[in-house]
Amino acid sequence: MKKVIVGIVVVAAFILQNASAILITTGGDPANTNAFVAYSHDVTFTIESATTFFLFAVDDAVAVADSSRTFLNFGGLNFSINGGSPTNFSAWADNLASNVGDLTTRDSYFQPAAMPALSIGDSVTIHAGTGTVTQASSDFQLFPTGNYSMYMCDGSGSRISDIVSIPEPTTLVFIGIFGSVLIGLRRTFLYW
């Protein structure tokens, strides 16, 4: 029976490890002004160092490294600080020409229209929704739909927040099932 419990724990750990990322849906064609990015749920960051200029970076080297950065005007997706009024994103960048701080040549990122000051401990939330580009570019490298980690960085590319990884809702269901099975097995063994 110990082997069964160990097996269940290993499977649960595997699911947690492989699903602990944010599902970001992308699509459309940047050359035709219809590229989009969508979040099915809110994503919240905790600020670890103060700054007045920041970006939301999509990690995991998602964009195609083409030695250039393309900024596109962007709208429809917003964030708030400490539950305050929403602030809109104004630009979406596909990558960098070189590594800058924690940003690599293949990281994609979003930039807000306004740059409010942030303090250590602030909570910053990207709200569920869909953002679309508002200009055309055949050079923009759209990263594919997938599970990604995200963090916030300052103007020098240095990370200023925790790295956020959130399991998808279906993963949370699986985790709950495995947890219930483990609790049930534990109770069974206690009464033997």
Q: What is the DSSP letter of 118?
A: B
pLDDT band for position 26 (cuts 50, 70, 90): very high
Provide the residue ranges of all domains of the chain, joining segments of one domain with +. 1-20+167-192, 22-166
Please state, in angstroms and rounded to a whole number, the distance separating the CA atoms of residues 82 and 125: 8
Which residues does 77 contact at the CB level (< 8 Å), separation at least 6?
37, 39, 88, 89, 110, 126, 127, 129, 130, 131
Q: Does residue 124 have a pLDDT over 90?
A: yes
Per-residue DSSP letters for 1-61?
-HHHHHHHHHHHHHHHHHH-SEEEEEES-GGGT--EEEESS-EEEEBSS-BSSEEEEE-SS
The average pLDDT across 121-143 equals: 91
Structure confidence at residue 13 (pLDDT): 44
Specify whether the CB–CB gap between 67 and 107 falls below 8 A: no
The 10s digit of each residue's pLDDT in 144-184 is 888 888 899 988 889 999 988 755 544 444 445 555 555 55
Reported as a single tens digit per residue, the pLDDT across 46-61 is: 999 988 888 888 865 5
The pTM of the full predicted model, rounded to 2 decimals, is: 0.71
99-113: per-residue pLDDT in tens?
888 888 778 889 988
Residue 108's pLDDT is: 86
CA distance 62 to 20: 16
